Amino acid sequence: MENAWGSSQSFRYPFFLSLLAVLLYIPALGGRDFWAPVEPRYAEIARIMFAKGEWIIPTVNGDLYTDKPILYFWLVLLGSKLAGGVNEWTVRLPSALSALGLVLTTYALGRDLFGARIGYIAAIVLATSARVLWEARWAHTDMTFTFFFVLSLYFFSRALLRKGKPGEFLLAYGLAALATLTKGLIGIVLPGLIVLAYVALRREWRVVSEWRLPSGILVFLLIAAPWFAWVSQATDGRWLREFIFTHHIQRYTSGLGHRQPFYYYLLTFPADFLPWTVFLVPAIWAYRSRLKLLNEPGALFLFLWFFAILFFFSLSDTKRDLYLLPLFPPAAIFMACYFVGLMDKAISPAALYRLLGLLFFNLLWITALCLPVVAWFYQREAVWISLPFALVMAGGGLTTAVAIWQTLPARGFFSAALTILLGALCASVWILPFLNSYKSARSFAVRVQRIVPSDQPLYIYADTMNDFNFYMEREVISVVSSQAEAESVASRIKTTYMLVRERDLRMVEMGEGGKVLAEGRVGDKRWRLVLLRR
């Protein structure tokens, strides 16, 4: 029996996939500053925990942080301990390594269900998908959660479909606990929903007795429960109350700032799955008469995996693009089956395949060639920075279009994947660092730090920017929420330093002797450091 990560005959597949993932996700990982809103928040939480030697209670700007559990921050702290401090590289490293793990897990899943070649193609599809590329280089919990979630379902599917040992059920429970420690109760709710839907449709309720539920629950609780108990006790139950009620119940039912319509993901998923979305419609068309394939346990399991997640998050009022990351592996495996069918001539390349492929990749190389021209007129200093990216995307797009025209699916597939790889490298090394000057708060924060004495309090008007906390190394920047509150602070403190957005400057009375000390821009926000005197 093959082990969990592939036989010796297919060792080359994991090796090449690991190399691909490293090239996609690691170069220049710390080459840009933290970009708001989430990255600076995670970085500041980790910085405070690192400085205080804290491992239980996450805080940000002096307040308890109850949005997410602790595991991502533990991983950041471990990397920061080795590196000697919290920085852009150590905060993003868990996402990058999780993406590498996700690529290999997708390979193993596809290999066990359909063969090593399909697993290999599926892992390439997943690795080069737009959303996976972005999240692998971003400080979010979602990539790490997705890795543990997918690995948990992988071992559960091996045991359930009798492709592995029964003891792998326990591995699945342990990994579900890690997923729960990373993002919350969906780490156990979503896997449970998928496997129960599978059992219900196949009417195999008797197999539930083989799931080692008592031992599995014990494994889950031994891993997940201790920290939840510790943080609840240390915060008099506040952390757990807010985590469950606000960030689970209210977030699912009340929107909480990301309210979107039911069909939202039908609009966003196609963009997130690029460039492979182009071939998704031809693949669905090619398999339209093969629904009997769903009688196969592996195919049904992946089908339910995809649609259970899509339906679950579509029902939620709170919707964000990255929530769908856990359904990318089954989507990638479906695309791999299609591409392998084309390569083996088991599926004929229909007109839809050629039409959509030619339309997209011809548009890609034409748009890429226009990029330096547009930069010349609107952002001249970006011309030379955009040129390598433009040449790579133009050459790759044209080569892929020619392969599609000549009906050479293998050449077209690998040409598209290579284009994404080289384009991602160019973007990581040149384009993102260039955009950093427009997105980062570091330069303005450093100027403010030089002006405001470290022993003086600093306030911010009607906003929170954890970039300022991190880059000024201030644990607390008190938020002033109204003009009356600003006047109250100024009346109590003779010299008051306050960060104010340009649009709110008229709301703050600086008083006699008050003035603007510094100004800067962070993204589309213009900021002022003002001195209030009374």
Residue 417, Cβ density class (10 Å: 0-12 exposed, 13-18 middle, ≥19 buried):
buried
Comparing CA positions, the residue from 311, 295, 335, 351 lying closest to residue 417 is 335
Peptide bond into 226 cis (omega under 30): no
Distances, alpha carbon 104 to alpha carbons 24, 160, 505, in Å: 14, 20, 52
Residue 3 pLDDT: 47
Q: What is the pLDDT of residues 45-72, one digit of tens each?
A: 999 999 999 999 999 999 999 999 999 9
Contact 508, 486 (CB under 8 A): yes
pTM greater than 0.85 (yes/no) = yes
Instruction: Compute how many other C-beta atoms are within 10 angstroms of the C-beta atom of residue 476.
Output: 15
Cα 222 to Cα 177: distance, rounded to the nearest angstrom: 9
**Apex CA 137: angle with CA 135 and CA 140, to 5°?**
50
Residue 9 pLDDT: 53
Residue 514 pLDDT: 78
> Per DSSP, which regions of 386-505 are E strands?
458-461, 478-480, 495-501
Instruction: Compute how many other C-beta atoms are within 10 angstroms of the C-beta atom of residue 256.
Output: 14
Q: Tokens 């000024």 identify what position?
A: 472
Interaxial angle between packed helices 88-114 and 142-160, expressed in degrees from 0 to 180 and rounded to the nearest 10? 20
The sheet with strand 458-461 has its strands ordered as 478-480, 458-461, 495-501, 525-533, 515-522
Comparing CA positions, the residue from 518, 423, 415, 526 lying closest to residue 465 is 526
Residue 6 pLDDT: 42
The mean pLDDT values, 10 residues at a time, for the chain of 534 residues are 47 94 96 91 97 96 94 97 95 98 97 94 98 96 97 94 89 97 94 92 86 94 96 94 80 64 90 96 88 84 95 88 95 96 91 94 96 89 91 97 95 97 95 90 94 92 89 93 85 86 85 84 89 80
Residues 6+ apart with CB under 8 A from 501: 461, 462, 463, 525, 526, 527, 528
Q: What is the pLDDT of residues 110-132, one digit of tens each?
A: 999 999 999 999 999 999 999 99
